[in-house]
Structure 1
Amino acid sequence: MAAAPTPQPLLPVTNPAAAGSVPPSGGALSDVPLGTPTFRVFLSRISDTARRSLADRRPWTELVDRSAISKPDSLSEATSRLRRNLGYFRVNYAAVVAFSLAASLLAHPFSFLVLLGIVLGAWCFLYTLLGLVLASVLAFFLTSVASLIISGLLVGGAIVAVHGAFRVPDDLFLDDPSSGPNGNTTNRLL
């Protein structure tokens, strides 16, 4: 009498890839398809967050209204104006700083290419050789890219600070200083 064959287990007992052999596709990252529902949910959450944050954007004509510009009488008034304008125009100011950073990177294309190389290199190191991330961070600070990014951010910050200090916020209305018209909190984008 022959014994009946044992049925295969429902769940695999061992994973051949984890048992020491390298998968033929080259790594674990390439095994994850981009069309998975998890990846789609991740992308939809990012796009929803960006859309909600950009919903707080104020009209650019209101930002550049020349009739609302005047010299502050004191440093405390300038600080008060800056605080109030930062809360009201936060998305517009973030766009101004991003534009300043982009303009400084585009004005120096070699540094822009070095930055792309460093970012791509750091990404590859992160997923393949985790210990070499420090080398890419050092390369970032030892090249002209770090000073270019810092100067672009400082120029954008200076533009925002000057505009915020000189714009009179009397015509700006916020019911709650911590939330915008769509209920978004101030800390969502910045």
Structure 2
Amino acid sequence: MSSSPATLPITNPTQSSSSSSQPPISTPAFRSFISRTTTSLRQTLSQRRPWSELIDRSAFTRPDNLTDAFTRIRKNSSYFRVNYLTLLTLSLAFTLISHPFSLLLLLSLFAAWCFLYLFRPTDQPVSILGRTFSDRETLGILLVSSIVVVFLTSVGSLLISAVLIGGAVVCVHGAFRDPEDLFLDEQEPANAGLLSFLGGAASSAVAAAGANSVVGRV
């Protein structure tokens, strides 16, 4: 009496591969973050003034006193705020490019925040060397790592020096550029300047990051 051959278990390769390999980052949330950042950047750059007005040598005159210099800086920062922000960004970029190790540290820190917390699916915990870390533990490790990278290495001093250099260039240009030929928008408040623009941009960036963080954690 012959026995029937043993039935081999049938597995679906598609299901096994999809269950074993999940993306380490939430792709829709990351794409939304990139799309919002790109859109905001394009909208901001579209508001920049012509660079020919910024470097018009015929408009440079010496201020009469400190009060006149501060008035010029306020008016020029309100008119050339996007151009000034671009100069500050270029100062940061050139400083970091000239120090590849610091740039690598910042990029690694940014990648760690993206892949380990902001856009990581909640059903995929962080596991390192056989130990699983909760979201609170992961957040704490990332915060401590950020403090160490920014304040206990040369990254913090480089960022501060780049901002100071860019700010000095902006202040010198704003003090010596006569704003009499500029057509300032009347709807802008009188105290609108570079600092208020930077504050608004920073708050928008923080809000966008917070929204995407919620998307990534939910």
TM-score, normalised on structure 1?
A: 0.71
Q: Partner amino acid for 1:113?
A: L
Q: Paired residue for 1:79?
A: 70
Instruction: Confirm or deny that 1:148 pairs with 2:158.
Output: yes
Q: Partner amino acid for 2:164?
A: L
In 1, Cα distance between equivalents of 2:183 and 2:83: 16
Instruction: Confirm or deny that 1:120 pairs with 2:130.
Output: no
Match of 1:172 among 182, 194, 198: 182
CA deviation vs aligned residue, 1:5-39 (integer Å, no higher than 9, x gap): xxxxxxxxxxxxxxxxxx63357x54x444xxx77
* Residues 122 and 136 in structure 1, CA contact (< 8 A), matched pair in contact too: no
Q: What's the CA shift for 1:44?
A: 4.5
In 1, Cα distance between equivalents of 2:33 and 2:108: 26
Q: 1:125 to 1:40 in 2, by over 3 A?
A: closer
Percent of residue pairs identical: 46
In 1, Cα distance between equivalents of 2:165 and 2:100: 18
Q: 1:47 to 1:118 in 2, by over 3 A?
A: closer
Q: What's the CA shift for 1:125?
A: 4.5
Q: Paired residue for 1:24?
A: 20
RMSD: 2.6
Q: 1:155 to 1:132 in 2, by over 3 A?
A: same
In 1, Cα distance between equivalents of 2:107 and 2:32: 27
Gaps of 5+ in 2: 1-18, 121-125, 127-137, 190-195, 203-218
Gaps of 5+ in 1: 1-22, 180-185
Instruction: Confirm or deny that 1:131 pairs with 2:140.
Output: yes
Q: 1:189 to 1:61 in 2, by over 3 A?
A: farther
Matched pairs, number: 157
In 1, Cα distance between equivalents of 2:113 and 2:32: 25
In 2, Cα distance between equivalents of 1:178 and 1:117: 40
In 2, Cα distance between equivalents of 1:175 and 1:74: 25
Q: 1:40 to 1:145 in 2, by over 3 A?
A: closer
* Residues 70 and 167 in structure 1, CA contact (< 8 A), matched pair in contact too: yes
- Structure with the greater relative contact order (CA < 8 A, sep ≥ 6): 1 or 2? 2
Instruction: Confirm or deny that 1:98 pairs with 2:89.
Output: yes
Q: 1:131 to 1:26 in 2, by over 3 A?
A: farther
Deviates further, 129-138 or 153-162: 129-138
Q: Paired residue for 2:55?
A: 64
* Residues 91 and 189 in structure 1, CA contact (< 8 A), matched pair in contact too: no
Q: What's the CA shift for 1:47?
A: 3.4
Q: What's the CA shift for 1:49?
A: 2.7
